[in-house]
Amino acid sequence: MPLRRREAALGDGVVRAALAPLLDAHRSAYPGGDEAELLRGYEVAERLHRGQLRKSGAPYITHPLAVAMILAGMGMDTTTLVAALLHDTVEDTPYTLGELRTDFGEEIAVLVDGVTKLDGGRWGDRAEAETFRKIVLSASDDLRVLVIKLADRLHNLRTLRYQPEHKRARYAKASHELLVPFAERLGIHVLKREMDDLAFAARSPEAHAATGHAVRAALRDAGRAFGPAMERLRDSLADHGVRARIEIRPSHLYAVHQSFGGELAGLRPCEAARLLLLVDGADRDCYIALGAVHAALHPVAGQVRDFIATPKDNMYRSLHTRVISPDGDPFEVIVRTVAMHPVAEYGIVAHIRDAGDDAATADAVAGRRDLVWLSRLLAWQSGTPSADFLDGLRADLAAGNVAAFTPDGEIVPLPAGATALDFAYALDPATGDRCIGAVVNGRLAPMSVQVRSGNVVEILTDPAGAPSEDWLEFAVTVPARVHIQQGVSRRRAEDAAASGRRRLVRALAGRSVDLLAAEARGDSLAVARALGYGEIDEMYGALTTGSLRLDDLLARFVPG
């Protein structure tokens, strides 16, 4: 065999060996996946990153390969895996987005561009905020951008120990505030749980270790503690004619820490785990199973939550109830069908995985009306400056889930603590701006009243209504606060312009100049443009604020 052909064959063998686990994982989910495209993506990424090292000392290519492996393990499509292999090439190598588009096509270029950070040299302090804004905008076109970003962050958290100590806590804090909530909003709980625990370990290593020790000790007795309850449940399910599998589901460490903090002494199995009932049947069988649970174990009053009739923002569907064990310990039981389970664990990834072909995948990743939180983000982000964007994003992604209803039965999801005013802005910014009150469950209520799950809310409006600065004292959601601030600023600008114009009218009248005639001729606009203002009202407003002197402006209208 000629030397060149032998070297090519050897190179191909090395690439296939490096990519074998990825190919195997992808083949199990996508038997007809384009392995040649994966091989080509890896070859390009390996060549471009050659010579670059991770902080661990490992070749850089190990990172994009690990990200692709995470995604393959969840069953993501070929296009996503190729984009994951190439996701750092435009950011960290001379490879341009145009070259990538030529080599791999528009779809992969869009995904890679979506996760590519903006240049800090060009964007300065705005880089982080604008990078996240870019991710949100890209995700509105293709949710796989966010999925790749989450897998990228997960692998970086897995290898965070190689970073300098002062960077670990900051990186983990940002992960908890901005990336973990995105995993939650996309319903990808398998990623959320691991990211939660890894970030927890980096931010509070001692608390993480203590929580891990307490949970492991509690779970050693899980079989004995849950055994009697599970026996009763099996008998009751059989009596009700429901087929279901019962599993003990441990809570992840960060969830336990949030629930109990440092009070971990004597942590019991029912505090460290829940029971999951996977029903082999239709949605209605979950309600029969819930009845079987309550027949077998005493329910805690007011602790049933129905996320089947009213799914969460992230498409999650299950029934949750709290019951008392035969030993007197309260614990949670989750009921869902076998068909609901993949979405409960993998969220949007389950929909992508089930899509099957290119057209169905496109529908699964773009323009989803069931992801109301993304529409809400897109609605307020454009009017928010970089300096405020990350704080707004953190607030909007914060935990809390309230499902209220319009009189027509439309579900309006809101964060905990939201008010009728927030509800109004969630319906439509114009409705919020004109809001003067509400009718909650048939009773008149002020705009400041807190909305609770299950409330039916009707918004009262006045065509002449306008946002008031006082509303900021009880508006909770970011969209409401952004629109209120914009409305207040707009009114202030209008008032300032009107005041400045009146002042100019009086001054010009004393010099026998008619401002209205000057405006009609276009003289006022010409003066405004000459002074660097885009509109006449901006110039008039500058008179009121003092940034433009009256004498300087008069000189433009009354030449000496």
Task: Supply φ then ψ for residue 333, to 5 degrees.
Answer: -120, 130
Position 286 in a domain:
yes
Give the active site residues: 91-92
- Token readout for 472 is 């900021």
Kindly report the CATH number assigned to the domain that includes residue 177.
Answer: 1.10.3210.10
What 212-219 contacts at long range (C-beta under 8 Å, 24+ apart), as own/partner pairs, is 212/253, 214/256, 214/264, 214/265, 214/267, 214/272, 215/250, 215/251, 215/253, 215/256, 215/267, 215/272, 217/267, 218/267, 218/268, 218/269, 218/271, 218/272, 218/273, 219/250, 219/269, 219/272, 219/273
Burial (CB count <10 Å: 0-12, 13-18, 19+), residue 406: middle
Tell me if 467 sits within 8 A of 483, measured CB to CB: yes
- CB count within 10 Å of CB 379 equals 17
Tell me if 452 sits within 8 A of 441, measured CB to CB: no
Position 4 in a domain:
no
Q: Choose one of 157, 172, 203: the last residue of a domain.
A: 203
> Do 117 and 261 reside in the same domain of the chain?
no
What single string gives the DSSP state of each residue in 411-480?
EEEE-TT-BHHHHHHHH-HHHHHTEEEEEETTEEE-TTPBP-TT-BEEEEE-TT----GGGGGT--SHHH
> Do 266 and 117 reside in the same domain of the chain?
no
> Do 238 and 301 reside in the same domain of the chain?
yes
Q: Give the pLDDT confidence score for residue 148 in this predicted structure.
A: 95
- Put simply, whether the predicted model's pTM sits higher than 0.75 gets the answer yes
**Residue of 353, 241, 246, 337 lying closest to 292 (CA atoms):** 241
Q: Give the pLDDT confidence score for residue 357 in this predicted structure.
A: 56
275 CB-near residues (< 8 Å, 6+ apart): 226, 229, 230, 233, 246, 247, 248, 249, 331, 332, 333, 334
> Do 53 and 104 reside in the same domain of the chain?
yes
**Residue of 156, 68, 47, 174 lying closest to 112 (CA atoms):** 68
Kindly report the CATH number assigned to the domain that includes residue 219.
Answer: 3.30.460.10
Count how many domains the chain has: 3
Tell me if 232 sits within 8 A of 297, measured CB to CB: yes
Position 437 in a domain:
no
Residue type, 235: D
295 CB-near residues (< 8 Å, 6+ apart): 236, 239, 240
Q: Give the pLDDT confidence score for residue 458 in this predicted structure.
A: 94
> Do 175 and 224 reside in the same domain of the chain?
no
- Token readout for 416 is 């905990």
Instruction: Using alpha carbons only, give the angle 202, 207, 211 rounded to the nearest 5 degrees.
Output: 115
Position 543 in a domain:
yes
Position 113 in a domain:
yes
Tell me if 26 sits within 8 A of 85, measured CB to CB: no
* Count of all residues that appear for the chain in the document: 560
> Do 198 and 219 reside in the same domain of the chain?
no
**pLDDT tens per residue, the chain (560 residues)?**
443 444 344 456 677 788 889 999 998 888 877 889 999 999 999 999 999 999 889 999 999 999 999 999 999 999 999 999 999 999 999 999 999 999 999 999 999 999 998 866 667 778 888 888 888 888 888 889 999 999 999 999 999 999 888 889 899 998 998 899 889 988 999 999 999 999 999 999 999 999 999 999 999 989 899 999 999 999 999 999 999 999 999 999 999 998 888 788 889 999 999 999 999 999 999 999 999 999 999 999 989 999 999 888 788 999 999 999 998 999 999 999 999 999 999 998 988 888 765 666 666 676 566 677 777 777 777 767 777 788 778 877 775 667 788 898 887 878 888 999 999 998 888 899 999 999 999 999 999 999 988 889 999 999 988 898 899 999 988 888 888 988 888 888 888 888 989 998 898 888 888 888 888 888 888 888 888 888 889 888 888 888 888 888 888 887 65
> Do 166 and 311 reside in the same domain of the chain?
no
Q: Give the pLDDT confidence score for residue 399 in this predicted structure.
A: 56
Q: Give the pLDDT confidence score for residue 368 in this predicted structure.
A: 64
- Residue 534 DSSP one-character state: S
> Do 91 and 21 reside in the same domain of the chain?
yes
Q: Give the pLDDT confidence score for residue 4 in this predicted structure.
A: 44
Pairwise CA distance, residues 403 & 455, whole Å: 8
- Residue 116 DSSP one-character state: P
> Do 80 and 103 reside in the same domain of the chain?
yes
**Residue of 77, 24, 78 lying closest to 354 (CA atoms):** 77
Pairwise CA distance, residues 460 & 449, whole Å: 13
Q: Give the pLDDT confidence score for residue 80 in this predicted structure.
A: 93
User: Angle formed by the axes of helices 478-509 and 372-381, to 10°?
Assistant: 20
> Do 178 and 235 reside in the same domain of the chain?
no
- CB count within 10 Å of CB 24 equals 10
Pairwise CA distance, residues 500 & 503, whole Å: 5
Q: SS3 helix, strand, coil % of the chain, rounded to 5?
A: 60, 10, 30
Position 468 in a domain:
no
* Structural domain for 494, as ranges: 485-557
Task: Supply φ then ψ for residue 197, to 5 degrees.
Answer: -70, -40
Task: Supply φ then ψ for residue 190, to 5 degrees.
Answer: -65, -35
Position 374 in a domain:
no
360 CB-near residues (< 8 Å, 6+ apart): none
Pairwise CA distance, residues 495 & 465, whole Å: 16
DSSP 3-state of 382: coil
> Do 152 and 50 reside in the same domain of the chain?
yes
Position 507 in a domain:
yes
**Residue of 303, 100, 530 lying closest to 290 (CA atoms):** 303
Pairwise CA distance, residues 178 & 377, whole Å: 13
Q: Choose one of 286, 313, 348: the last residue of a domain.
A: 348
Q: Choose one of 313, 331, 348: the last residue of a domain.
A: 348
Gyration radius of the chain over CA positions: 29
> Do 161 and 285 reside in the same domain of the chain?
no
